[in-house]
Amino acid sequence: MEAKSIVISVEGMTCSSCVQTVEQHVRKMDGVHNVRVSLEDKNAVVIYDSKLQTPTVLQEAIYDMGFDATLADSNPQPVLLDTIFLTIPTQSALMSKQICSTLLQNKGIVDVKMSSDQKTAVVTFIPSITNGKQIIQMVPGVDLSISAPEVTPGTCEDSSWSQASSVVLRLKVEGMTCHSCTSTIEGKIGKLQGIQRIKVSLDNQEAVVVYQAHLITAEEIRHQIEAAGFTASFRKQPRPLKLGAIDLERLRNTPQSKGSGTALKGSSNVNDVKTVVFRIDGMHCGSCVLNIQSTIAALPSVTSIVVSLEKKSAIINYNPNVTSVDVLRKAIEAVSPETLKVSLPEDYENVALLPMLASPLKSPHPASKDAGQPLTQVAVINIEGMTCNSCVQSIEGVVSQKAGVKSVRVSLANGSGTIEYDPLQTSPEDLRSSIEDMGFDASLCAKAELPVALAQPVPEVQLESHRTEPLSKVSPSHLARQETKTVSKCYVQVTGMTCASCVANIERNLRREDGIHSILVALMAGKAEVRYNPAVIHPSAIAELIRELGFGATVMENCGEGDGILELVVRGMTCASCVHKIESTLMKTNGVLYCSVALATNKAHIKYDPEIIGPRDVIQVVKDLGFTTSLVKKDRSASHLDHKQEIRQWKRSFVVSLVFCIPVMGLMIYMMVMDSQLSDAHAHHNMSSEEMEALHSSMVLEYQLLPGLSVMNFLSFLLCVPVQVFGGWHFYIQAYKALKHRTANMDVLIVLATSIAFVYSFVILLVAMAEKAKANPVTFFDTPPMLFVFISLGRWLEHVAKGKTSEALARLISLQATEATIVTLGPDNVLLSEEQVDVELVQRGDVVKVIPGGKFPVDGRVIEGHSMVDESLITGEAMPVTKKPGNTVIAGSINQNGSLLISATHVGADTTLSQIVKLVEEAQTSKAPIQQFADKLSGYFVPCIVAVSVVTLFAWIIIGFVDFEIVEKYFLGYNKSISAAEVIIRFAFQASITVLCIACPCSLGLATPTAVMVGTGVGAQNGILIKGGEPLEMAHKVKVVVFDKTGTITHGTPEVMQVKFLVEGNLLPHNKMLAIVGTAEGNSEHPLGAAITKYCKKELDSETLGTCTDFQVVPGCGISCKVTNIESLLYRKNSMVEENNIKNVTLLKIEENTDQSVPPALIIDAELPTAVASQKYSVLIGNREWMTRNGLIVKSDVDRAMVEHERRGRTAVLAAVDGVLCGLIAIADTVKPEAELAVHTLKSMGLEVVLMTGDNSKTARSIASQVGITKVFAEVLPSHKVAKVKQLQDEGKRVAMVGDGINDSPALAMANVGIAIGTGTDVAIEAADVVLIKDDLMDVVASIDLSRKTVKRIRINFVFALIYNLIGVPIAAGVFLPVGLVLQPWMGSAAMAASSVSVVLSSLLLKMYQKPSSEKLEFRARGQMRHKSPSEISVHIGIDETGAGSPKLSLMDRIINYSRASINSLFSDKRSVNSVVLNEPDKHSLLVGDFGEDDDTAL
């Protein structure tokens, strides 16, 4: 059995009867030993049996009574136990079992064990609840007596002496510059196992370390200091430490040990042993301690003695029958060198002479715990020598680690530290010396020592840790294995989560349910992993529980998603038996689900359950078998996005084609030139065939190698074949694949064109050679090389451009760290070891160390250290964020100035960064509706073009044979030497091949995806995450923008707007009132209270205020309390004002240039009087009802002022001091500064803006008038927001909903475009289509503007793509022949390549996109923005459509509005040009829209 103690914070208790109710209720619960409830501290300390109770059940028991209960600390503290031996009389009427059960029924008894002879009972009890005397009387009718166990002398002490082989080491440390360096070394070395104490001196540049030689070596200590960045060397060889204070403390903590060699005197009864604590001044070193101990322990009456050098104390257990306190005091003073001063502490009467029961070395204090001593006290320590925030963090870090310290706040400005501590575990003097040990000067404030009751408490905490140590020896894997026998795991897909608070809500509520062991929710993946007991609950019930919380939930069938998959390279396998050995061993390993090893590739594919085993464990198993193994390296460089491979391929294809194309072009140009010269020479008559042959034979290129085969045709054929084979290889493969799947694409067209030209030319050549023709035939061998050159150039440029479009995503992927430093921690977070591993090998729950400048490899929670973290690359937040224990960190963000230890919560694909990358990847691959149309078009496009080409071929053949003159007239270079049939066929073929060449479905296919890719990439860089093409395209169609109020239009946190003082300044100075009110509200947890305190601190320019006592809060009414200690604060403030006044007077005098002397200030360098009489003020703060209830009358003028504030949507709070109403404070949730400009800009873009809120109509109207919104839906429940959005959509409007995502998720999902405003990881991932990472309303404008620009760009791209095809195809087919427009096939392919490249370049122009800047928009909107009057705002209450809240307009109002509308219509044209028209609004909306909707023209 084990007793634990837990502190539960309890809110809502108002009086001592509440306290009694809680105590009585909790005491009745099984396993509860004791409960103490404090009204002041608002907490309950429960001591319970951990076998019978859990903290959660206790917390819920208090919660069920109607109080707010939260666990102050999730880790219960072990309670100090004591043991007593009872002798059972032989003639006892009760059986030993009955005695045991009777004892166990009493509170405070933890365990009872009987000896084998049934004569002795060993009772374990909690000394703070009961004691030996009470235990003896617990069994009525039985005479129990306390007996001392027999102890063999020397047994305990020997074991403790063996541990005490401590060594002291002095090191010279160079490179330290400030106190922060010393605390770094002390912090780092102090955590190592085996280090007992370390003191680093900045002045002497040395470190003194006391350590245990059997746990750590001097060399290791030196290495660790050097690892921290300093150079260290040994001053003296380490020497064994003579018995010192540390050993003695360890001896003291060894249960039932007997001091230095003195055995318990068996003759004396334990009840006769008493304890005395002496204060000893004059001890210098360990040898003094040893002298005192050896001398006093030798006295016959002393049972044990413990002397502490630091505390200057000696605790002596002695027999009062043999000696007295005075004799002991004189004996100590007589110890050599006889200079010691021995005295009894002042509170000696309370502390000493307590019966010690069976463990003489136990601290006397648990027995005094009942003495009504407070559990927490406060010490204020003045600290000098702090230079920067790093010093503050160092002190807070070190002091907070000390036992008994509850909280610590260090102020650099005031040079002081305020520490809340448990007086039973530590003292102000201890705390002060620990700060001095860090190298700062520390002194206790005068008032700090007053609340301390015990001067020299003995540290019992060490005893606690000593007792609980064996628990940590149980191996976690063993526990996990035990657990998995009864635990199953399931995955639930959760929809509707919008931010971190949703995650916390689900996790908190499900953990309370029976049968659920743990739950982990991933926001970005929208997935919950639940471990549950299948005997108690099943997955569908878990999903139902999540649905009850208001989220969508479905159980995921493929639970294998949770399985880890590991790809390993295994070296050293030689045969099949190696494979079998690895597979069989892994399959036997607990947690491995599947394993396959391939000998040929040296690879292993392993599936495992990450809950039971991790990748590092699997690798270790393989290594233990004698093989070397490593991870298959994943490509983290995002190389699939930069299109490098395709770029290389097309570049090579282009170069090959170009090399062969240049000679072909040369030959072609030469022939064209020669032909034109000949035609000029013989312009007056056509040649006959004889003349032609003669001419051909005279030309070099027309010289026939064989009959019918000229040099020209032969060279062209030779140059064409390699291009057709190598240049066209890729096209042939792609075309074959396309035709195999019965589709036709771009490659099919290109292959058709080039193959037809090549085959046709080759056949003609063969026919000519067979006929041994004298005149050379005309071939198309020049077409394929030129076609391939232009197409491969186009493809090359297109892939270069595509690589550019996905730069944003590549940049995100490159943020991922590649390695992580995993550390192993011992007890008390002592660093045992650290190792570098691949980031894929990090397991959930690992402790990862991140050094300054390093990237966070995984998402996690900080467990130790303070630092600033740069999250700008992920959240767009420029300022670094402070991280301290308990904060979450995001993978990919950069740690700046301090080392952090984090516990991994999401690893691998579950990290926030991986999810953002996945989101952007999905966005860039998702198709916009307009693109689906383009894809459908491309499917029909190729067959159509082939049909057009065939039609063109036959049309021209028919036309040629019917009317040869047309062809003769328009076919360039025709001469009579070629037969008419050849001319017709050649012309027809040229036309049909050109049709095939010019048609390009590519540009159609590229028009949308390239623009979407660049658009989403540019958005991501500007902090706007757009989830794909659909929302990007939909946003430009939006006509209505609906804003949520709280947290979207407003900040979501209240601020003080105005303070009205109701009493004269001479009766209660304004500063004094603010100090009183601020101090009173300092203890309140209500948001309004926090706002008041923040305002007062700002006004008084002070971080700390006075002291508040008797604090009482009544929900819905107000607070009452007593305030003291504000005089020093006001004095400081007044002296600053005085100083400023003197400065101002001096400046005035100088300006006036007169010789008058400056009048002396009232106070010159006056010190604050130390004995200021601190006055106590009685304070009431709350609403009218609270004041009335406390007998105060609220005057009518004050009431009027309150009503006016409430009309303007503010909360009015009254403050009374000492029964006099003295102030009225107006508090409101303030509007974001950019909200008005954002609303105005959206309106000028032609959009209707609506405000939707759950708040009351007054507040809603007030906020709407401030930002310029004229249509308001107020008092709308979250569930009704969906209906409202649907209502607007039913009117035929496209709706964009902007929310901060706490309760807006259903409406965000329902809207055509859901825009979530988040900060950092609070991204409304699931429901929203657009996520604004920064909390800035101007990004709403930017997202709609970006959508409009992108859609505009897509349309331009379509125009580009279609122009080429719609104009190019008819020209190629010869439709425009009468006009003289004729295209060669190579011209067609050039045009085709140009169309693809121009579309991609057009998309890349989006990269120039700049967000609309606030400055420009403000400049344009100057004079046009104004607050709306209430009459212009129509407010609709709840879900009805009636504008009940809108006041009826008077006749005058109607006339004014009518005239304003007329003027608006006159100016509408001019205004539509001048106002901020990012995309031109509909003109008519300016004429007939709401009068107040657009800018007003001054009447």
**Interaxial angle between packed helices 783-805 and 807-814, expressed in degrees from 0 to 180 and rounded to the nearest 10:** 50
Query: Distance (Å, rounded) from C-alpha 223 to C-alpha 1251?
Result: 64
For residue 1078, what is the enclosing H or E element? helix 1070-1081
Give the strand pairing for 377-384 and 416-421: antiparallel
Q: Rg of the Cα trace of the chain?
A: 44
Instruction: Go through the chain and tell me how many residues it has.
Output: 1499
The CB-based long-range contact list for 553-556 (8 Å cut-off, 24+ gap) reads 553/492, 553/493, 553/494, 553/495, 553/528, 554/492, 554/493, 555/490, 555/491, 555/492, 555/493, 556/490, 556/491, 556/492, 556/493, 556/527
Are residues 43 and 94 in contact, defined by beta-carbon separation less than 8 angstroms?
no
Say how many C-beta atoms besides its own lie within 10 A of residue 766's C-beta: 13
Q: DSSP states of 421-486 as a string? A: E-TTT--HHHHHHHHHHTT-EEEE-GGGGTT---SS----HHHHHHHHGGGGGS-HHHHHHHHHTT
CA separation, residue 615 to residues 535, 585, 589, 846, 911 (Å):
30, 15, 12, 12, 17
Say how many C-beta atoms besides its own lie within 10 A of residue 1283's C-beta: 14
Query: Distance (Å, rounded) from C-alpha 1394 to C-alpha 1365?
Result: 12
Sheet with 377-384, strands from edge to edge, namely 405-411, 416-421, 377-384, 441-444
Half-sphere exposure for 667 (CA within 13 Å, toward CB): 26
Residue 604: strand, helix, or coil:
strand
Query: Distance (Å, rounded) from C-alpha 1346 to C-alpha 1362?
Result: 24
**Interaxial angle between packed helices 1385-1404 and 1338-1373, expressed in degrees from 0 to 180 and rounded to the nearest 10:** 180
1062 φ/ψ angles, rounded to the nearest 5 degrees = -100, 0
Are residues 261 and 161 in contact, defined by beta-carbon separation less than 8 angstroms?
no
Query: Distance (Å, rounded) from C-alpha 294 to C-alpha 556?
Result: 73
The CB-based long-range contact list for 1483-1486 (8 Å cut-off, 24+ gap) reads 1485/1246
Give the strand pairing for 1271-1274 and 1434-1437: parallel
Structure letter (DSSP) for residue 16? H
1069 preceded by a cis bond (ω within 30 of 0): no
For residue 1214, what is the enclosing H or E element? strand 1211-1217
Among this protein's residues, is 1044 annotated catalytic?
A: yes
Closest to 928 (Cα-Cα) out of 1011, 1002, 1004: 1011
Residue 591 Ramachandran class (φ > 0 left, ψ -120 to 50 alpha, else beta): left
1248 φ/ψ angles, rounded to the nearest 5 degrees = -90, 135
Annotated catalytic residue: which of 642, 1044, 1255, 1304?
1044
Closest to 907 (Cα-Cα) out of 889, 887, 885: 889
Query: Distance (Å, rounded) from C-alpha 523 to C-alpha 915?
Result: 9
CA separation, residue 1098 to residues 171, 280, 1095, 1215 (Å):
48, 49, 5, 19
Helices (H) and strands (E) in the chain, counts: 47, 54
Are residues 369 and 443 in contact, defined by beta-carbon separation less than 8 angstroms?
no
Query: Distance (Å, rounded) from C-alpha 720 to C-alpha 661?
Result: 8
Are residues 867 and 881 in contact, defined by beta-carbon separation less than 8 angstroms?
no
User: Strands (DSSP E) along 533-687, which ranges?
Assistant: 552-555, 564-571, 592-598, 603-608, 628-631
Residues with catalytic function: 1044
